[in-house]
Structure 1
Amino acid sequence: MDADDSEYWNTTQVKAFSFDDDILTTQEILAIGQRANLSSSQSDSEGFLSSGAAKPLLPLSSLVSPKVLDLILLAQSGKDPPSKQPKLADSEETVSITLKRLVLGRPCSLHTHRSLKSKTELLDGAVAIGDGNCIISVVLFLIQTLNKKLVYELLSARPTALRHYVSFLQSEGKITELTDLLTMLGRSPEAAMYQYQHHVRAQGNNVDGLLRKLNNLLSNHFNQPGIDVNQAKIVTNYIKFLEWQKCAAVTALSNKSVMECLSHCCAHHWTETAGKIMSPLTLSQQQQITPLQYDWVVLNVHAKLKNWEIVESIFTRKDWFGRSTVSSHIPLTMVIARLHELGSSRRLIATFVNKISNTDEKLQIATHFKVHSVVIETLAKQKDRQGLVNYKMALNPQSEEYILAENTLRTPSIKWKN
């Protein structure tokens, strides 16, 4: 190959195409020929300027007829002539091309698939690919062109497609279609729960309207035989909660959760006794709030308000011998950590740390939260002189804790073990 040939192959602007892609039409072939002629004309124009002679340009269609182009294209594709080639309307190859275009986002017409076999193959192919958008496009096409009952039967046999379609209906807020689908599939309790969730999300501040819808839903769906008792209990409790909000008539509590309303009652109606509408105990009993949840809300509310005396009185009790003990459904270490995080006094934290029965755990927690008085006292009880000396060296000289450590080391009644 000489230099001229090499330069041609390196510089040509004619774009090659692959017959492995979708079949090109005659118009596309002509367009390629016209681009080639245009490129050639630009090159010839430059030659004209230098030589002063113009070369005549002929369109590709004048050299080769469209019929011949079709035959060339057919020969290159390796397929039989049209008279011998079988129709591909419902073939596997047509389904694969359609799915390919759907996945790549290319325009395509699903309506070329008219037979049930072809439509079923489309759905199975979309499920096999696993592309959610592709699955939804096929399912919506089936909904448009097939009997709805037949589509639901196809979806029930394909859990992946059904799951995508249920999520689509839920995200689009098409609660009627979703309810019909699940009911026809024998999943009425699930359909009722979707209706419940939809009403709660969509109702806004209209408590009366939401109460009316939920009461109807409770009587028509959740009170029927076979319904999950726990689901019915959820709806019943929420109706009671809405009735409580309506009686409370506090604008700030609109659209608030049960825990947020309990926090409000603890902060503003702490002294009200059980039985009164705004009493924390009344709301807690009505909504079946667990003791752990109740203690956690009370701890956070009063600690944030710096009501340390209330916190201490709630979580400490006197036993039969007059000794103070911790009474909380929250693990003691969590109470200490939360009090420290919310800026509780050292004295109150020390009170709770001292209630830890395990000595090693108490020393570890006291050291972590720098409750120096408890650390010094615990080391003294262990008669660990060396440990106390080392701890004293880490304290700020002349501080109250430093002086306490020094005085403890000088106590003659302690018989140190080291």
Structure 2
Amino acid sequence: MMDEDDYWNTSETKAHAFSFDDDVLTPQEILAIGQKPSTGTKEESIFSSSAISNTKSLLPLNSLVSPKVLDLILLAQSGKYPSNESKSDIEQTVAVTLKRLVLGRSCSLHVHRSLKSKTELLDGAISIGDGNAILTVVLFLIQTLNKKIVFELLSCRPIALNHYISFLHTEGKITELSDLLTMLGRSPEAAMYQFHHCIKSQGNNVDSLLRKLANLLANHLNQPGADSHQAKMVADYVKLLEWQKFANKQELFNKSALHCLAFCCAQHWSDTAGNMMSPMTVCQRQQIPPLQYDWVVLNVHAKSNKWDIVETLFTKKDWLGRTTVSSHIPIETLLARLSDLQASKQLLTTCVNKIASSEDRLRLAQMYKVRM
């Protein structure tokens, strides 16, 4: 008697067995679903009972689903796309690709060979609004098209352009970013990206940074038609770097002008004007506004408890011998900061009495608990 293993291993049984490996159907097999088998077949269906006799009335699948839809199903299953791209084919292929991109599935963008197909792919990604899909398509265009053509496509698609600019900036690809912006007629913006990159990449190497900024001024910002405000800003920064190189203090390298001013107020307050380390020299050299100068001086000396310097700077005697407040800082802002820094009641009283409006004087006197 034949056991179960022998039965299932016989060639006759294999001929009728269903294989789970054959899960990919051909177009002919899909179209044959529901069709009645030919009358000349040798074997009868085992499902020929009256209970399922209605299967004889089933319609072929191609009468229910259009051939184009069937082709699309097969394309999604196989990952292959037709080589001849009609308008309908392009639309279907673009839709499938975008769907896979948005869902994070693997897909090949190289099936989009024509410029029309690539353009529709880009526009489709923009209309969906998925940033990853937009950037993926833009990078694909950069790889497969002439850069001039890509820049022309991006110039009239600001959303895609901004995604690509952000990508280049984040990745530190400043040369590619500068080329893109220059070709789009945005040279001043390209120069600013180069300026920030120079500062970020050179660290505390003042000599190297000075050389790079000098080249930037000569090649971009000092050229006809360049932005004069940007050129002045970079030139002022070069002057600050030159001063930092002269000071030769590691803690000052690549710091702001106000930071350097605060250092000079704390360490070189008694230096006379004209001395490179004098606070007034730094103020004049870097064109620091009087308001910022007063604010830095106030905070530096108040935090060091040098209130005599603060009072000398911010209070004056008029010709009648009365004490008045002299500061470029708005009086209420000055009062608030003096209170935070724990100034004396006498100094707060002097500032309150400087206010012209009697109502404001009363209100602030009550707020800071001083006598009028």
Aligned to 1:320: 319
In the alignment, the residues of structure 1 paired with residue 148 and residue 182 of structure 2 have an alpha-carbon distance, to the nearest angstrom, of 11
Pair 1:59 & 2:58 matched: no
User: Are 1:79 and 2:66 matched, yes or no?
Assistant: yes
How many residues align? The count is 317
Which amino acid letter does the alignment assign opposite residue 277 of structure 1? M
* 1:83 Cα deviation after fit: 11
Determine the structure 2 residue equivalent to 1:285: 284
Q: Which residue of 1 aligns with 2:203?
A: 204
User: Over residues 350-381 of structure 1, what are the superposed CA-to-partner deviations in whole Å (9 max), with x where a residue is unaligned?
Assistant: 2211211211101111111222x33xxxxxxx
* Matches of 1:140 and 1:99, distance apart in 2: 15
Q: TM-score, normalised by structure 2?
A: 0.80
Q: Distance in 2 between matches of 1:366 and 1:65?
A: 87
**Residue type matched to 1:351 in 2?**
T
**Cα distance between partner residues in 1 of 2:108 and 2:282:** 59
- Cα pair distance change 1:271/1:58, threshold 3 Å: same
Q: Deviations over 1:202-221 (max 9, x none)?
A: 11110000001100111111
Q: What is the CA-CA distance between 1:75 and the residue it aligns to? A: 4.4
Q: Following TM superposition, by how much is the alpha carbon of 1:61 offset from its aligned partner in structure 2, in angstroms? A: 5.8
User: For residues 159-205 of structure 1, what are the alpha-carbon distances to aligned partners after superposition, in whole Å with 9 as ceiling and x for unaligned?
Assistant: 11111111111111001101111111122221111111110111111
Corresponding residue of 1:70: 30
- Aligned residue in 1 for 2:361: 362
Distance 1:61 1:338, change over 3 A: closer
Structure-2 change in CA distance of 1:102 and 1:62 (3 Å): closer
Contact 2:325 2:350 in 1 (8 A): no
1:263-412 mapped onto 2 (5 Å cutoff): 263-371=262-370, 373-374=371-372
Q: 2: CA distance between counterparts of 1:289 and 1:264?
A: 15
Which digits, 9 at most, give the CA deviation of each residue in 1:30-71, with x for residues without a partner?
xxxxxxxxxxxxxxxxxxxxxxxxxxx953569999457533
Q: 156-165 or 239-248, which moves further after superposition? A: 156-165
TM-score normalized by the length of structure 1: 0.71
SS of the equivalent of 1:91 reads: helix
**Greater than 6 Å deviation, 4+ residue runs:** 62-65, 81-86
Query: Offset of 1:335 from its aligned partner?
Result: 0.8
Give the superposed CA RMSD. 2.6
- Give the Cα separation in 2 of the matches to 1:172 and 1:359: 59
- Amino acid of the residue matched to residue 152 of structure 2? E
1:133 has 2:120 as partner = no
Q: What letter is aligned with 2:30?
A: D
Corresponding residue SS for 1:317: strand
**SS of aligned partner of 1:267:** helix
Q: Which SS does the other structure have where 2:67 is aligned?
A: coil
Contact 2:252–2:260 (CA<8 Å) still a contact in 1? yes
Change (3 A) 1:205 1:61: closer
| Residue type of the alignment partner of 1:211 | L
Q: Match of 1:177?
A: 176
**Identical pairs, percent:** 61
Higher RCO, Cα 8 Å, sep 6+: 2
Unpaired segments of 5 or more residues in structure 1?
Answer: 1-56, 375-418
The Cα shift of 1:107 comes to 0.9
Per the TM alignment, residue 256 of structure 1 is displaced from its structure 2 partner at its CA by 1.7
Deviation at 1:235, TM superposition (A): 0.7
**TM-fit CA distance, 1:320:** 3.1
Equivalence map 1:87-166=2 (5 Å) = 89=85, 90-166=89-165
